[in-house]
Amino acid sequence: ALVGVDNMGTIPIRASRRAVGSGNAWAVTFWGVHGNLGELEADGHFLYGGDPHIVVTELAGGSSDIYPRDYTYEVQTIYVSKEHGFIAPTTGSFALAFEDKETAVIDVSASADDMKEALEELSSIHTVNVERDVVDGRSLWTVTMTHLMNENRQGAGDIGLMRVASSSLSDPSVTSVRVFENVKGTNPLEYTIKNLTPGVTYFCRVTAYNAVGYGPVSATSTATPIGQPTAPLVANTTLSSGSALTVTWSLVGNDGGSAVQGYELEWYGAAGAGSSSSEVAIN
């Protein structure tokens, strides 16, 4: 049922469903597909009933490059959207904008080469790869951002969406041009160090190398990951009065790299005496 994912390998998607109120929620996992993918786009025109609607929310973003230890290109799709039931051919044109630069007019039947030429004429774009498909009578152009003008090397990073600057379409009340993000690009000069210890300061520096060898190192930068504090030790609980107890405890051994702002004390009684809690702030 998901269009455009047939080239992602064998069984790339896992889905589960649960009832939510009078509707349903589906959790979709792109299993075995690397890269930080853009959100799905949902078409709710097939829904019927009292105020039906569908919402897509990203629960967890992908973190791995499509090609390990390499950067991932940004991929966006431009397509002509039609209201459900509208089957007449769409004619007309539109213009796109990227970083405040607008393309020349693009026909809705433009070829992949025509779209590539229009985008590469922008002063904010150097090179792109474009593929064109037709799905249910709608034109789709998949654009891979391979090199932007303000970069010294390839790899566009996670850039903003192109936008539709203008459009002149037949039946504009039921047709439109839209853009969505397929894959979020990564920065080729960026690396995420994982599984570090919170509260510990780490020192980082970078060295470039080529066929001759390694060059001099960069200046050293430091950062401290932040995590949750460790548990305090309850030292003593004493009788304060006939109906009160005093609880004292020690400071935490590790604040997780961020100063402790307070403590939450919970208590409960035996034989159904009830339970409660109270926050204790540190001034």
Residue 98, H or E segment: strand 92-98
**Residue 35: inside a domain:** no
Tell which of 123, 155, 184 closes a domain: 184
Q: What is the pLDDT of residue 86?
A: 67
Are residues 244 and 141 part of one domain? no
**Residue 275: inside a domain:** yes
**Considering the chain, what is the average pLDDT of its residues?**
81
Are residues 180 and 73 part of one domain? yes
Token pair of 202 as six digits: 């780490």
| CB distance 177 to 80 below 8 Å | yes
Are residues 239 and 163 part of one domain? no
Tell which of 184, 219, 250 closes a domain: 184
**How many angstroms separate the CA atoms of 273 and 270, rounded?**
6
**Residue 15: inside a domain:** no
**How many angstroms separate the CA atoms of 126 and 119, rounded?**
8
**Residue 252: inside a domain:** yes
Are residues 238 and 155 part of one domain? no
**Residue 178: inside a domain:** yes
Residue 264, H or E segment: strand 262-268
**How many angstroms separate the CA atoms of 162 and 103, rounded?**
11
Pick from 84, 62, 264, 276: nearest CA to 181: 62
Pick from 153, 260, 273: nearest CA to 199: 260
**Residue 34: inside a domain:** no
Are residues 247 and 176 part of one domain? no
In the chain, alpha helices (H): 112-120
Are residues 75 and 167 part of one domain? yes
Are residues 172 and 255 part of one domain? no
Query: What is the residue range of 96's domain?
Result: 69-184
Are residues 176 and 87 part of one domain? yes
**Residue 226: inside a domain:** no
Residues contacting residue 167 through CB under 8 Å, at least 6 positions apart: 92, 93, 94, 95, 176, 177
Tell which of 184, 218, 253 closes a domain: 184
pLDDT in tens, 178-235: 998 888 887 767 777 888 888 889 999 999 898 999 999 999 999 988 888 888 877 7
**How many angstroms separate the CA atoms of 58 and 8, rounded?**
19
**How many angstroms separate the CA atoms of 62 and 115, rounded?**
29
Are residues 159 and 87 part of one domain? yes
Are residues 103 and 178 part of one domain? yes
- The total domain count for the chain is 2
**Residue 42: inside a domain:** no
Q: What is the pLDDT of residue 190?
A: 73
DSSP string spanning 180-242?
EEEEE---TT-----SPPTT--EEE--EEE-SS-EEEE---EEE----PPPPPPEEEEEEEET
Q: What is the pLDDT of residue 5?
A: 47
Pick from 15, 65, 62, 71: nearest CA to 37: 62
Pick from 147, 184, 153, 142: nearest CA to 39: 184
* Local mean pLDDT, 10-residue blocks, the chain (283 residues): 47 77 81 68 72 79 59 86 71 91 94 94 89 85 83 66 91 87 78 84 92 94 89 83 86 83 84 74 71
Q: What is the pLDDT of residue 8?
A: 45
**How many angstroms separate the CA atoms of 96 and 114, rounded?**
13
